[in-house]
Homo-oligomer: A and B are copies of this chain.
Protein backbone atom coordinates (compact mmCIF):
# COMPACT_ATOMS: atom_id res chain seq x y z
CA UNK A 1 0.00 0.00 0.00
CA UNK A 2 3.05 2.29 0.05
CA UNK A 3 3.64 1.87 -3.68
CA UNK A 4 1.93 4.95 -5.05
CA UNK A 5 3.34 7.12 -2.26
CA UNK A 6 6.86 5.96 -3.08
CA UNK A 7 6.19 6.40 -6.80
CA UNK A 8 5.09 10.01 -6.16
CA UNK A 9 8.33 10.72 -4.33
CA UNK A 10 10.35 9.24 -7.20
CA UNK A 11 8.41 10.99 -9.97
CA UNK A 12 8.66 14.35 -8.26
CA UNK A 13 12.24 14.06 -7.03
CA UNK A 14 13.51 17.02 -9.06
CA UNK A 15 10.66 19.16 -7.74
CA UNK A 16 11.37 18.16 -4.11
CA UNK A 17 15.06 18.95 -4.47
CA UNK A 18 14.14 22.34 -5.94
CA UNK A 19 11.92 23.14 -2.95
CA UNK A 20 14.59 21.88 -0.52
CA UNK A 21 17.12 24.19 -2.22
CA UNK A 22 14.74 27.12 -1.67
CA UNK A 23 14.56 26.21 2.01
CA UNK A 24 18.35 25.87 2.35
CA UNK A 25 18.98 29.16 0.57
CA UNK A 26 17.47 31.05 3.51
CA UNK A 27 20.28 31.85 6.00
CA UNK A 28 18.24 31.05 9.09
CA UNK A 29 21.01 31.61 11.64
CA UNK A 30 19.29 31.84 15.00
CA UNK A 31 22.23 33.09 17.06
CA UNK A 32 22.80 36.25 15.02
CA UNK A 33 20.13 38.97 15.21
CA UNK A 34 21.14 40.21 11.76
CA UNK A 35 19.27 37.21 10.37
CA UNK A 36 15.98 37.85 12.16
CA UNK A 37 14.13 38.41 8.86
CA UNK A 38 15.57 35.23 7.40
CA UNK A 39 14.34 33.33 10.44
CA UNK A 40 10.80 34.58 9.68
CA UNK A 41 11.27 33.67 6.03
CA UNK A 42 12.30 30.12 6.86
CA UNK A 43 9.33 29.71 9.22
CA UNK A 44 7.02 31.12 6.51
CA UNK A 45 8.41 28.60 4.03
CA UNK A 46 7.31 25.70 6.25
CA UNK A 47 3.92 27.22 7.08
CA UNK A 48 3.16 27.80 3.40
CA UNK A 49 4.31 24.30 2.49
CA UNK A 50 2.18 22.69 5.20
CA UNK A 51 -0.88 24.71 4.21
CA UNK A 52 -0.45 23.86 0.53
CA UNK A 53 -0.38 20.12 1.21
CA UNK A 54 -3.31 20.04 3.61
CA UNK A 55 -2.29 21.16 7.10
CA UNK A 56 -4.82 23.97 7.01
CA UNK A 57 -4.16 25.11 10.58
CA UNK A 58 -0.41 25.52 10.17
CA UNK A 59 0.87 28.81 11.56
CA UNK A 60 3.79 30.68 13.05
CA UNK A 61 3.44 30.91 16.81
CA UNK A 62 5.37 33.81 18.31
CA UNK A 63 7.89 33.22 21.09
CA UNK A 64 10.18 35.65 22.93
CA UNK A 65 12.58 35.26 20.04
CA UNK A 66 12.16 33.22 16.85
CA UNK A 67 8.72 31.84 15.93
CA UNK A 68 7.67 28.23 16.33
CA UNK A 69 5.93 26.57 13.39
CA UNK A 70 2.95 24.53 14.52
CA UNK A 71 0.38 22.59 12.52
CA UNK A 72 -2.04 19.72 13.06
CA UNK A 73 -3.37 16.97 10.86
CA UNK A 74 -6.27 14.95 12.26
CA UNK A 75 -7.46 13.16 9.13
CA UNK A 76 -6.23 9.72 10.14
CA UNK A 77 -9.22 9.22 12.41
CA UNK A 78 -9.74 8.51 16.05
CA UNK A 79 -8.34 5.01 15.98
CA UNK A 80 -5.03 6.09 14.49
CA UNK A 81 -2.27 7.20 16.82
CA UNK A 82 -1.19 10.82 17.08
CA UNK A 83 2.48 11.58 16.62
CA UNK A 84 4.33 14.71 17.67
CA UNK A 85 6.83 15.46 14.93
CA UNK A 86 9.68 17.73 16.00
CA UNK A 87 12.44 19.38 13.97
CA UNK A 88 14.17 22.74 13.71
CA UNK A 89 14.60 25.24 10.90
CA UNK A 90 17.47 27.24 12.39
CA UNK A 91 21.11 26.55 11.55
CA UNK A 92 24.56 27.22 12.98
CA UNK A 93 26.57 30.18 11.65
CA UNK A 94 28.57 29.29 8.55
CA UNK A 95 31.86 30.91 9.46
CA UNK A 96 34.75 30.48 8.85
CA UNK A 97 33.37 31.17 5.37
CA UNK A 98 36.73 30.85 3.62
CA UNK A 99 36.84 27.13 4.38
CA UNK A 100 33.68 26.36 2.38
CA UNK A 101 34.19 25.02 -1.12
CA UNK A 102 30.81 26.40 -2.18
CA UNK A 103 28.53 29.07 -0.75
CA UNK A 104 26.83 27.62 2.36
CA UNK A 105 23.55 29.20 1.28
CA UNK A 106 23.71 28.24 -2.39
CA UNK A 107 23.15 24.47 -2.23
CA UNK A 108 25.25 22.43 -4.59
CA UNK A 109 25.29 18.71 -5.41
CA UNK A 110 28.75 17.16 -5.74
CA UNK A 111 29.52 13.41 -5.82
CA UNK A 112 26.08 12.40 -4.59
CA UNK A 113 26.08 14.82 -1.68
CA UNK A 114 24.10 17.98 -1.17
CA UNK A 115 26.35 20.73 0.25
CA UNK A 116 24.72 23.53 2.26
CA UNK A 117 24.50 24.79 5.83
CA UNK A 118 21.52 22.90 7.29
CA UNK A 119 21.57 20.16 4.63
CA UNK A 120 21.80 17.56 7.39
CA UNK A 121 21.16 19.60 10.56
CA UNK A 122 18.24 19.89 10.36
CA UNK A 123 16.51 21.53 7.40
CA UNK A 124 17.26 18.62 5.07
CA UNK A 125 15.73 16.09 7.45
CA UNK A 126 12.72 18.30 8.25
CA UNK A 127 12.06 18.70 4.56
CA UNK A 128 12.02 14.92 3.98
CA UNK A 129 9.03 14.71 6.34
CA UNK A 130 7.25 17.54 4.55
CA UNK A 131 7.75 15.72 1.25
CA UNK A 132 6.45 12.43 2.68
CA UNK A 133 3.36 14.18 4.10
CA UNK A 134 2.77 15.65 0.63
CA UNK A 135 3.23 12.29 -1.08
CA UNK A 136 0.66 10.59 1.17
CA UNK A 137 -1.86 13.41 0.89
CA UNK A 138 -1.50 13.81 -2.89
CA UNK A 139 -1.84 10.08 -3.60
CA UNK A 140 -3.84 8.38 -0.86
CA UNK A 141 -5.59 11.56 0.27
CA UNK A 142 -4.69 10.97 3.88
CA UNK A 143 -1.89 10.15 6.30
CA UNK A 144 -1.80 6.87 8.27
CA UNK A 145 -1.27 8.82 11.50
CA UNK A 146 -2.54 12.03 13.03
CA UNK A 147 0.29 14.53 13.29
CA UNK A 148 1.23 17.52 15.40
CA UNK A 149 4.05 19.30 13.62
CA UNK A 150 6.41 21.34 15.81
CA UNK A 151 9.37 22.94 14.04
CA UNK A 152 11.29 25.38 16.19
CA UNK A 153 13.80 28.08 15.31
CA UNK A 154 16.01 27.99 18.37
CA UNK A 155 17.55 24.55 18.57
CA UNK A 156 21.05 25.83 17.88
CA UNK A 157 20.75 28.39 20.67
CA UNK A 158 19.37 26.13 23.38
CA UNK A 159 15.59 25.86 22.70
CA UNK A 160 14.88 28.00 25.76
CA UNK A 161 11.51 29.27 24.54
CA UNK A 162 10.38 25.84 23.42
CA UNK A 163 11.08 24.54 26.90
CA UNK A 164 8.66 27.06 28.38
CA UNK A 165 6.04 26.47 25.69
CA UNK A 166 6.19 22.68 26.17
CA UNK A 167 5.58 23.16 29.87
CA UNK A 168 2.82 25.73 29.52
CA UNK A 169 0.83 24.19 26.65
CA UNK A 170 0.81 20.53 27.51
CA UNK A 171 -2.54 19.81 25.85
CA UNK A 172 -1.41 21.30 22.56
CA UNK A 173 1.64 19.06 22.29
CA UNK A 174 0.43 15.86 23.91
CA UNK A 175 0.55 12.82 21.63
CA UNK A 176 0.98 9.04 21.67
CA UNK A 177 4.64 9.25 20.79
CA UNK A 178 7.16 11.58 19.26
CA UNK A 179 9.33 11.30 16.18
CA UNK A 180 12.45 13.39 15.76
CA UNK A 181 14.73 13.41 12.75
CA UNK A 182 17.71 15.42 13.93
CA UNK A 183 20.36 12.74 14.24
CA UNK A 184 22.29 10.28 12.15
CA UNK A 185 23.29 6.77 11.27
CA UNK A 186 26.60 5.18 12.21
CA UNK A 187 27.58 4.90 8.57
CA UNK A 188 26.17 5.84 5.22
CA UNK A 189 23.34 3.46 4.26
CA UNK A 190 23.61 1.67 7.62
CA UNK A 191 20.15 1.81 9.23
CA UNK A 192 20.66 2.75 12.85
CA UNK A 193 18.41 2.83 15.87
CA UNK A 194 19.62 5.53 18.20
CA UNK A 195 18.28 4.47 21.57
CA UNK A 196 20.27 6.86 23.76
CA UNK A 197 21.63 10.38 23.74
CA UNK A 198 23.99 12.08 26.10
CA UNK A 199 23.12 14.84 28.52
CA UNK A 200 24.96 18.06 28.68
CA UNK A 201 26.34 20.67 31.05
CA UNK A 202 29.04 23.31 30.93
CA UNK A 203 30.80 26.20 32.54
CA UNK A 204 33.33 28.90 31.90
CA UNK A 205 36.42 29.45 34.07
CA UNK A 206 38.00 32.87 34.25
CA UNK A 207 41.27 33.27 36.11
CA UNK A 208 41.97 36.87 37.03
CA UNK A 209 45.50 37.86 37.89
CA UNK A 210 46.97 41.36 37.84
CA UNK A 211 44.62 44.24 37.05
CA UNK A 212 46.62 45.05 33.92
CA UNK A 213 49.06 43.16 31.73
CA UNK A 214 52.45 43.27 33.43
CA UNK A 215 55.99 43.52 32.08
CA UNK A 216 57.31 39.98 32.45
CA UNK A 217 60.76 41.24 33.37
CA UNK A 218 59.65 43.54 36.15
CA UNK A 219 57.05 41.20 37.69
CA UNK A 220 58.03 37.73 36.53
CA UNK A 221 58.85 35.76 39.67
CA UNK A 222 56.50 37.69 41.97
CA UNK A 223 53.07 37.48 40.34
CA UNK A 224 51.10 34.32 39.51
CA UNK A 225 50.57 33.88 35.78
CA UNK A 226 46.82 33.40 35.10
CA UNK A 227 47.40 31.27 31.99
CA UNK A 228 49.67 28.94 33.91
CA UNK A 229 47.16 28.83 36.77
CA UNK A 230 44.41 27.95 34.30
CA UNK A 231 46.59 25.23 32.77
CA UNK A 232 47.10 23.72 36.21
CA UNK A 233 43.36 23.79 36.85
CA UNK A 234 42.47 22.25 33.49
CA UNK A 235 45.11 19.55 33.62
CA UNK A 236 43.82 18.57 37.06
CA UNK A 237 40.39 17.80 35.58
CA UNK A 238 41.21 15.14 32.99
CA UNK A 239 44.33 13.04 32.83
CA UNK A 240 46.22 11.77 29.82
CA UNK A 241 44.32 8.48 30.01
CA UNK A 242 41.17 10.51 29.25
CA UNK A 243 39.84 9.83 32.75
CA UNK A 244 38.00 12.75 34.34
CA UNK A 245 39.78 13.38 37.63
CA UNK A 246 37.07 15.36 39.38
CA UNK A 247 35.94 13.84 42.67
CA UNK A 248 32.55 12.15 42.33
CA UNK A 249 32.25 12.74 38.60
CA UNK A 250 31.58 9.07 37.82
CA UNK A 251 29.56 8.30 40.98
CA UNK A 252 26.13 8.16 39.33
CA UNK A 253 27.21 6.85 35.96
CA UNK A 254 25.04 3.92 34.83
CA UNK A 255 27.57 1.26 33.82
CA UNK A 256 27.65 -0.14 30.31
CA UNK A 257 26.17 -3.63 30.29
CA UNK A 258 27.93 -6.37 28.42
CA UNK A 259 24.88 -6.59 26.15
CA UNK A 260 25.28 -2.93 25.26
CA UNK A 261 29.02 -3.25 24.75
CA UNK A 262 28.29 -6.11 22.33
CA UNK A 263 25.73 -4.04 20.43
CA UNK A 264 28.19 -1.15 20.24
CA UNK A 265 30.98 -3.41 19.01
CA UNK A 266 28.66 -4.83 16.35
CA UNK A 267 27.79 -1.41 14.89
CA UNK A 268 29.96 -0.58 11.86
CA UNK A 269 31.09 2.78 13.17
CA UNK A 270 33.13 5.36 11.34
CA UNK A 271 36.90 5.56 11.27
CA UNK A 272 37.17 8.37 13.83
CA UNK A 273 40.86 9.03 13.17
CA UNK A 274 40.36 9.25 9.42
CA UNK A 275 37.37 11.55 9.50
CA UNK A 276 39.00 13.80 12.11
CA UNK A 277 42.35 13.81 10.30
CA UNK A 278 44.44 12.63 13.25
CA UNK A 279 47.02 9.89 13.46
CA UNK A 280 45.32 7.96 16.26
CA UNK A 281 42.26 7.92 18.45
CA UNK A 282 42.26 8.07 22.24
CA UNK A 283 39.69 6.94 24.78
CA UNK A 284 39.10 6.42 28.47
CA UNK A 285 41.31 3.65 29.80
CA UNK A 286 39.31 0.41 29.72
CA UNK A 287 36.91 1.54 27.00
CA UNK A 288 37.09 1.64 23.23
CA UNK A 289 36.61 4.97 21.44
CA UNK A 290 33.17 3.71 20.34
CA UNK A 291 32.18 2.86 23.90
CA UNK A 292 33.50 6.17 25.15
CA UNK A 293 31.69 8.30 22.58
CA UNK A 294 28.45 6.34 22.93
CA UNK A 295 28.25 5.42 26.55
CA UNK A 296 30.79 7.16 28.78
CA UNK A 297 30.78 10.80 29.88
CA UNK A 298 33.17 13.28 28.31
CA UNK A 299 34.86 16.52 29.29
CA UNK A 300 36.03 18.95 26.62
CA UNK A 301 37.67 22.34 26.67
CA UNK A 302 35.89 24.07 23.78
CA UNK A 303 37.91 27.25 23.79
CA UNK A 304 40.66 29.09 25.63
CA UNK A 305 42.07 32.59 25.49
CA UNK A 306 44.26 34.97 27.43
CA UNK A 307 47.11 37.41 26.94
CA UNK A 308 48.80 38.24 23.67
CA UNK A 309 47.49 36.42 20.61
CA UNK A 310 49.04 38.39 17.76
CA UNK A 311 52.16 37.69 15.74
CA UNK A 312 55.53 37.46 17.39
CA UNK A 313 56.22 38.03 21.03
CA UNK A 314 54.85 40.28 23.76
CA UNK A 315 56.64 39.79 27.05
CA UNK A 316 53.76 40.14 29.47
CA UNK A 317 52.14 38.42 32.39
CA UNK A 318 48.54 38.66 31.17
CA UNK A 319 45.79 39.97 33.41
CA UNK A 320 43.43 37.06 32.82
CA UNK A 321 42.74 33.77 31.07
CA UNK A 322 39.46 32.04 30.25
CA UNK A 323 38.45 28.51 29.29
CA UNK A 324 35.09 27.23 28.10
CA UNK A 325 34.20 23.71 29.16
CA UNK A 326 31.34 21.38 28.30
CA UNK A 327 30.60 17.84 29.41
CA UNK A 328 28.45 15.20 27.76
CA UNK A 329 26.67 13.09 30.36
CA UNK A 330 25.30 9.57 30.42
CA UNK A 331 22.18 8.07 32.06
CA UNK A 332 22.34 8.34 35.82
CA UNK A 333 24.18 11.65 35.91
CA UNK A 334 22.39 14.82 36.97
CA UNK A 335 23.70 17.88 35.10
CA UNK A 336 23.36 20.18 38.09
CA UNK A 337 25.19 17.83 40.41
CA UNK A 338 27.97 17.39 37.86
CA UNK A 339 28.21 21.14 37.36
CA UNK A 340 28.55 21.60 41.11
CA UNK A 341 31.26 18.91 41.31
CA UNK A 342 33.22 20.65 38.56
CA UNK A 343 32.81 24.02 40.25
CA UNK A 344 33.89 22.69 43.64
CA UNK A 345 36.91 21.02 42.10
CA UNK A 346 37.96 24.22 40.33
CA UNK A 347 37.77 26.33 43.48
CA UNK A 348 39.55 23.62 45.44
CA UNK A 349 42.55 23.37 43.11
CA UNK A 350 42.76 27.08 42.23
CA UNK A 351 46.27 28.28 43.03
CA UNK A 352 46.94 31.23 45.32
CA UNK A 353 47.62 34.68 43.92
CA UNK A 354 44.79 34.65 41.38
CA UNK A 355 41.02 34.97 41.59
CA UNK A 356 39.01 32.23 39.94
CA UNK A 357 35.45 32.77 38.73
CA UNK A 358 33.16 30.02 37.48
CA UNK A 359 30.21 30.94 35.33
CA UNK A 360 27.78 28.05 35.03
CA UNK A 361 26.08 27.34 31.72
CA UNK A 362 22.35 27.80 32.32
CA UNK A 363 21.03 25.26 29.87
CA UNK A 364 21.78 21.69 30.59
CA UNK A 365 20.10 18.37 29.94
CA UNK A 366 20.01 14.84 31.28
CA UNK A 367 20.90 11.93 29.08
CA UNK A 368 18.09 10.04 27.32
CA UNK A 369 17.70 6.31 26.86
CA UNK A 370 14.81 4.20 25.60
CA UNK A 371 14.51 0.42 25.74
CA UNK A 372 15.84 -0.93 22.44
CA UNK A 373 13.01 -3.51 22.24
CA UNK A 374 10.08 -1.10 22.62
CA UNK A 375 7.49 -1.93 19.88
CA UNK A 376 7.71 1.56 18.34
CA UNK A 377 11.49 1.13 18.15
CA UNK A 378 11.18 -2.34 16.63
CA UNK A 379 8.86 -0.98 13.94
CA UNK A 380 11.33 1.81 13.20
CA UNK A 381 14.10 -0.77 12.83
CA UNK A 382 11.96 -2.75 10.37
CA UNK A 383 11.15 0.34 8.30
CA UNK A 384 14.86 1.26 8.17
CA UNK A 385 15.91 -2.25 7.16
CA UNK A 386 13.29 -2.46 4.42
CA UNK A 387 14.28 0.90 2.92
CA UNK A 388 18.06 0.53 3.19
CA UNK A 389 18.09 -3.23 2.53
CA UNK A 390 20.36 -3.87 5.49
CA UNK A 391 20.20 -5.12 9.06
CA UNK A 392 19.53 -2.29 11.53
CA UNK A 393 22.08 -1.71 14.30
CA UNK A 394 21.41 -0.29 17.75
CA UNK A 395 23.59 2.41 19.22
CA UNK A 396 23.73 5.30 21.64
CA UNK A 397 25.31 8.57 20.60
CA UNK A 398 27.37 11.27 22.18
CA UNK A 399 25.26 14.18 21.04
CA UNK A 400 22.55 15.87 23.09
CA UNK A 401 19.09 16.96 21.92
CA UNK A 402 17.66 18.84 24.90
CA UNK A 403 14.10 18.65 23.54
CA UNK A 404 14.28 14.86 23.81
CA UNK A 405 14.89 15.04 27.52
CA UNK A 406 12.15 17.62 28.00
CA UNK A 407 9.51 15.73 26.01
CA UNK A 408 10.30 12.65 28.04
CA UNK A 409 10.32 14.50 31.35
CA UNK A 410 7.17 16.59 30.73
CA UNK A 411 5.04 14.22 28.66
CA UNK A 412 6.43 10.79 29.44
CA UNK A 413 5.85 9.75 25.83
CA UNK A 414 8.14 7.38 23.91
CA UNK A 415 10.48 9.12 21.48
CA UNK A 416 11.67 7.60 18.24
CA UNK A 417 14.83 9.14 16.82
CA UNK A 418 14.50 8.60 13.09
CA UNK A 419 17.76 10.12 11.90
CA UNK A 420 19.38 9.91 8.48
CA UNK A 421 22.60 11.92 8.79
CA UNK A 422 26.00 10.31 8.22
CA UNK A 423 29.31 10.74 10.05
CA UNK A 424 30.71 12.64 7.08
CA UNK A 425 28.07 15.37 7.23
CA UNK A 426 30.28 17.93 9.06
CA UNK A 427 27.50 19.35 11.19
CA UNK A 428 28.34 22.79 12.61
CA UNK A 429 31.49 22.86 10.46
CA UNK A 430 32.35 24.23 7.03
CA UNK A 431 31.14 22.11 4.10
CA UNK A 432 28.13 20.56 5.83
CA UNK A 433 26.49 18.07 3.49
CA UNK A 434 23.88 15.31 3.31
CA UNK A 435 24.00 12.25 1.03
CA UNK A 436 21.25 12.02 -1.58
CA UNK A 437 21.04 8.31 -0.69
CA UNK A 438 19.84 9.33 2.75
CA UNK A 439 17.37 11.71 1.17
CA UNK A 440 15.80 9.00 -1.00
CA UNK A 441 15.99 6.01 1.35
CA UNK A 442 15.17 8.16 4.35
CA UNK A 443 11.86 9.25 2.81
CA UNK A 444 11.17 5.61 1.96
CA UNK A 445 11.83 4.69 5.61
CA UNK A 446 9.42 7.36 6.81
CA UNK A 447 6.71 6.10 4.43
CA UNK A 448 7.09 2.52 5.73
CA UNK A 449 7.14 3.75 9.31
CA UNK A 450 3.94 5.80 9.11
CA UNK A 451 2.19 2.88 7.45
CA UNK A 452 3.48 0.46 10.05
CA UNK A 453 2.58 2.49 13.13
CA UNK A 454 -0.70 3.71 11.61
CA UNK A 455 -2.07 0.23 11.19
Interface residues of A (CB under 8 A from B): 31, 99, 198, 200, 202, 209-225, 227-228, 230-232, 234-235, 238, 240, 242, 272-273, 276-284, 287, 289-290, 292-294, 296, 298, 300-309, 312-318, 321, 323-324, 326, 328, 351-355, 361, 397-400, 423, 426-430
Contact = CB atoms under 8 A, between A and B. Distances in A.
**Residue with the highest number of chain B CB atoms closer than 10 Å, among A284, A294, A303, A351:** A303
Given A218-B293, A220-B398, A296-B221, A240 B316 contact: no
Contacts of A308: 302-303, 324
B298 A220 contact: yes
B234 A289 contact: no
A292 B221 contact: yes
A283 B423 CA distance: 50
Contact of A216 (B300, B306, B309): B300
Contact of A318 (B224, B302, B354): B302
A321 B307 contact: no
Given A217-B397, A220-B398, A231-B235, A313 B326 contact: yes
A276 B210 contact: yes
A204 to B, nearest CB: 8
A222 B287 CA distance: 10
A282 B222 contact: yes
A52 to B, nearest CB: 34
A206 to B, nearest CB: 12
A260 to B, nearest CB: 15
Contacts of A328: 216-217, 220-221
Contacts of A398: 216-221
